[in-house]
Amino acid sequence: MPWDYEPTSFPIAWDEDGNPTRYFTPDFYLPEDDLYIEITTMSQKLVTKKNRKLRELKELYPEINCKLFYQRDYLNLVVKYGLEGPDHLEEAPAPTRMPGRPAIVRLEERGERLTG
């Protein structure tokens, strides 16, 4: 299945001059399904923050499909596909982020319409 890692950063807040000040960058994009995926497994303390950003994304860009996978979702997939046994769920390694800033891709440059 083809996928892209953090291909798009969506502006979700702007300053008084219209310059983006905050972005939401989903972890993966599945082009065959036109679906962005955000995974929150590293720290459950980030869940509230990611839920808020995803809510803002959906309000500003209702045409963008994005799904948030929680730690339990990730662990269930690890077991389902035989990467770890159920007795090792606490030890299952979580994905890590790649270092550096994500590339910012303007939707206008991709030929897509911005809404909001």
Query: How buried is 69 (Cβ within 10 angstroms: 0-12 exposed, 13-18 middle, 19+ buried)?
Result: middle
Q: Could you tell me the two tokens for 110? A: 């991709």
The whole-number pLDDT of residue 92 equals 45
The whole-number pLDDT of residue 88 equals 56
Q: Is 44 helix (H, G, I), strand (E, B) or coil?
A: helix
Residue 75 CB neighbour total at 10 angstroms: 19
The whole-number pLDDT of residue 36 equals 97
Distance CA 36, CA 84 (A): 25
The number of angstroms, rounded, from the C-alpha of 15 to the middle of its chain's C-alpha atoms is: 23
Q: What is the pTM of this model?
A: 0.67
The whole-number pLDDT of residue 28 equals 96
Q: Cα-flanking dihedrals φ and ψ of residue 39, to 5°?
A: -115, 130
Give the whole-number percent of the chain exceeding pLDDT 90. 47
pLDDT digits (tens, 9 = 90+) for 53-76: 999 999 999 999 999 988 888 888
User: What are the Cα distances from residue 69, in Å, to 34, 59, 89, 100, 105?
Assistant: 16, 19, 16, 23, 23
